[in-house]
Homo-oligomer: A and B are copies of this chain.
Amino acid sequence: MAPIAITPEPSRSATPQLKTPTTAWSPTEDNVSSLTLAGIEHALPSKNASSAGQAPLDASLLQIELTQSPRAVPAPESPEVAAQKTCTDHMITARWTLEHGWHAPELKPYGAFSIMPTASVLHYATECFEGLKLYRGFDGKLRLFRISRNCQRMRKSAARIALPDFEPKELEKLIIRLCAQDGEKWLPKERPGSFLYVRPTCIATDEALGVQRPQEALLYVILACFPDMTKSKSAPAPPALNGASNGTKKAPSSGLKLLASTEDSIRAWPGGFGYAKVGANYGPSLVAQGEARARGFDQVLWLFGSESYVTEAGASNFFVVWRNKTTGRLELVTAPLEERIILEGVTRASVLELTRSRLSEAMGDVEALDVVEKRFTMADVVSAYREGRLVEAFAAGTAFFIAPVSLIHFRGEDLVVPTEEGESGVYTRVVKEWLVNIMYGKETHEWGVVVDEVA
């Protein structure tokens, strides 16, 4: 079977044709000033030598081998879906070597990798990933949401963790091709409103224990069946850590209950890598997250520094709506990107952009919002709470989507966050509706990238 070109809707420039890229990419050069003073010259190479003369990632070279053993599609609410273990029939892989650059990518049957015990990724966390979703729209079409942002971020993450560079558009084409292949069967048209989780990943496969920049890597993309986080609220925890047997007690409201981190557990630090979607941000968070769950919370609210700056909630960005004490105006507030300790979420950016454009003035009964990206502390949140100015809060990310927060436990105190409409506050609901409408094609929008299915 020959590769099939993906035809975008004419108005959507974000769905490219499969074609050979015309430019090779080299990593951003650090602007290093002359440092030499005493006797020895330490010249920076004029550019990263690892990219010189290497073959670029090229989606047009895709080799296709379709499965001979199709897998069964699990029922939407089945345990297999809850366990996040089931992937679709195919996956994309692309090998990279320092010697050659990117080899021809492959679309092939989903299955295990053969990885040597010495592989860099198993020892040194030389890995990065992305998370997005493929949506089956209410108009019967498949869509990806702002996929170009994920691919650009993946390139940044790869650079941070010393993995090879690539042209994000080529990754985008490969993801779209896989979605086009498996979408029809795994997101049947009869189930509008359903989705698959798309996981592009890059790992260093060097068969060598030396602590050094990887010389071999594997880029791959898989599509996983995923529970609807907006229904089940949180990912299924390990059975032994869940439920009444631990003596934990659930709060009545359905929103997320967050346990604020303490100073002895810090997720990220300026000069670190908190902004990058690298494995090294996730594994180290699991102990704190496991403890939070064992105590009946859903996620950790990650604070930073002795000032207790609010950064992220679990692996999502965190938003609060409060009334500004001075101006009396409502504000939607989230942590800024400048310090690079939080992830630049695609959902985060979309919430900010939509709110800025649609709620700078009142919308019917819904009061206007000022949108603010700034440092804020738990003391600010506690003040707003005590003074009745705290309106609502939510976490925003791909996995949890827009998840209302109902409680924050901080220094021995439970802050019960208002959820005016029961399930959530007004703004949480409105923002979620805007996004759902774009994702599932109820609203035609450039962020909703239509994927044409392989016939």
CB of A190 within 8 Å of the partner chain: no
Contacts of A246 in B (CB 8 A): 43, 45, 49
Closest B residue by C-beta to A239: B98
Q: Is the CB of A222 within 8 A of B117?
A: yes
**Known pairs A41-B249, A122-B203, A413-B37; A114 contacts B117 (CB<8 A):** no
Cα A162 to Cα B292 in complex, Å, equals 13
Chain A count of residues within 8 A CB distance of the other chain: 112
Closest B residue by C-beta to A49: B240
Q: Which of B118, B239, B273, B284 contacts A278 (CB 8 A)?
A: B284
Closest B residue by C-beta to A51: B240
Q: Which of B40, B117, B209 contacts A197 (CB 8 A)?
A: B209
Q: Is the CB of B117 within 8 A of A115?
A: no
Contacts of A212 in B (CB 8 A): 235-238, 286, 289-290, 293
Contacts of A315 in B (CB 8 A): 211
Q: Which of B35, B127, B208, B273 contacts A83 (CB 8 A)?
A: B208
Q: Which of A2-10, A262-270, A353-361, A374-382 contacts B (4 or more CB under 8 A)?
A: A262-270
Copies per complex of this chain: 2
Interface string of A29-54 (1 = CB under 8 A from B): 01000011111111111101110100
**Known pairs A159-B287, A266-B270, A412-B35; A84 contacts B49 (CB<8 A):** no
Q: Is the CB of A42 within 8 A of B259?
A: yes
Contacts of A413 in B (CB 8 A): 37-38
CB of A364 within 8 Å of the partner chain: no
CB of A180 within 8 Å of the partner chain: no
CB of A61 within 8 Å of the partner chain: no
Q: Is the CB of B40 within 8 A of A407?
A: yes
